[in-house]
Amino acid sequence: MKNIKIAIDGPAAAGKSTVAQLVAKQLNFVYIDTGAMYRAVTVYCLWNDIDCRDEQKVASVLDNINITLYPDHSISLNDRDVTKEIRSTIVNENVSYIAANKEVRYFLVKQQRKIAENVSVVMDGRDIGTYVLPNADVKIFQIASVDTRAKRRYLENIQKGIPCSLESITKELEKRDYIDSHRELAPLKKADDAISLDTSNMTIEEVVNAIMDIIYRKVGNVHA
């Protein structure tokens, strides 16, 4: 059977990764969290006291960065498990600068395309349908109001024991959305052939079911 590519894009904290993981599990496809890869590059720079806005300096260390995504959704950076560290507040504050760096994008997009080459995938990010996998079989653009997204991220952090305030999360999301949508290379934007899904008033289960319906309608029963 042909390998199927499913792209799920959208703004920060729209619930893409939770939903994409569940969809991948139902279909038995590989799940690729591209945001985690930008986060890992950010962690590397923070470890090495590199200013994440210094484009040339960041570009010059990319060859030292080795990222591995595992089937259990953990991630390692140069053989160190950074699954928790990539979600820290300091990473949230810096990741959009890293993601706006063209050299970082070329470096990671090459790896993302390679992973997707020989398997069926569900890949989530900002630019999957527009840039990483422009020929994806199904493209979803998942949105939600900034208030909903901030509340979701707030509850997620509280559950994980990460101290935060709703106000600071709202500000951080707005800032990240702005940088992600205004960068030069592959900005956050709906692909012309993507289907928009506003999840503001939907539960996770409803979103997963809606996406599964879209997949079945577009490509039939593609369970791997």
Can you read off the two tokens belonging to residue 8?
């799920």
> Closer CB to ligand CDP, residue 53 or residue 217?
53
- Please state, in angstroms and rounded to a whole number, the distance separating the CA atoms of residues 102 and 84: 26
The correct pick among 12, 75, 82, 202 for binding ligand CDP (CB under 6 A) is: 12
Q: Does 172 bind ligand CDP (CB under 6 A)?
A: no
Site string for ligand CDP, 76-105 (x = CB under 6 A): -------------------xx--x------
Start-to-end CA span in the chain (Å): 9
Beta strands in 64-217 (DSSP E): 67-69, 75-77, 80-81, 121-125, 138-143, 195-198
The correct pick among 125, 140, 146, 150 for binding ligand CDP (CB under 6 A) is: 125
Listed ranges 49-57, 67-75, 124-132, 140-148: which one lies at the site for ligand CDP (CB under 6 A): 124-132
> Closer CB to ligand CDP, residue 94 or residue 120?
94
Q: Does 34 bind ligand CDP (CB under 6 A)?
A: yes
> Closer CB to ligand CDP, residue 31 or residue 38?
38
> Closer CB to ligand CDP, residue 179 or residue 214?
179
SS3 annotation, 136-156? CCEEEEEECCHHHHHHHHHHH
Q: Does 129 bind ligand CDP (CB under 6 A)?
A: no
Secondary structure of residue 44 in the 3-state scheme: helix
Q: Does 139 bind ligand CDP (CB under 6 A)?
A: no
Task: Measure Cα distances from 203 to 72, 181, 223 in Å.
Answer: 24, 26, 23
* Under 8 Å between Cβ of 137 and 218: yes
Can you read off the two tokens belonging to residue 81?
């498990």
Instruction: Give the dihedral sign, CA 195/175/75/48.
Output: positive
> Closer CB to ligand CDP, residue 51 or residue 217?
51
Q: Does 107 bind ligand CDP (CB under 6 A)?
A: no
Residue from 10, 85, 74, 7 nearest 42 by CA: 85
Q: How far is the CB of 71 from ligand CDP (least distance, A)?
A: 18
Task: Measure Cα distances from 131 to 50, 125, 135, 137, 146 in Å.
Answer: 28, 11, 9, 14, 25
Q: Does 176 bind ligand CDP (CB under 6 A)?
A: yes
Q: How far is the CB of 125 from ligand CDP (least distance, A)?
A: 2
What are the residues binding ligand CDP (CB under 6 A)? 12-13, 17, 34-36, 38-39, 95-96, 99, 125-127, 176, 180
